[in-house]
Amino acid sequence: MKGNMNNMMKQMQKMQKKMMKAQDELHEMSFEASAGGGMVTVTANGKKEITDVQIKEEVVDPDDIDMLQDLILAATNDVISQIDEKTNETMGEFTKGMNMPGMF
């Protein structure tokens, strides 16, 4: 019985190391989304930190600030969705078959 427990603990530790490595790799990834046909581009890392925002000069119209704000929101929400998708895909590999609510 004790041997089984030790073996199980080693397996869990191995899986935890793999999960941490996958999470670190995910955090280092770069994600990019654009809106308005490339007028606004938002870049973020896997930690959901925005690392860059590019705005084409021709989309900057002082009379239509609302459109620019909408494009920035659209690109930002898109990049966050990409990160969420990749996170679920990557970390889901570790939680397959486990019933652990609230883990991610």
DSSP 96: T
Identify the pLDDT of residue 8. Answer: 87
pLDDT digit string, tens, across residues 21-64: 999 999 999 999 999 999 999 999 999 999 999 999 999 999 99
What DSSP letter does each residue of 26-85 carry, written as one string?
HHH-EEEEEETTTTEEEEEETTS-EEEEEE-GGG--TT-HHHHHHHHHHHHHHHHHHHHH
Question: Does the pTM of the predicted model rise above 0.85?
Answer: no
Amino acid symbol at 15: M
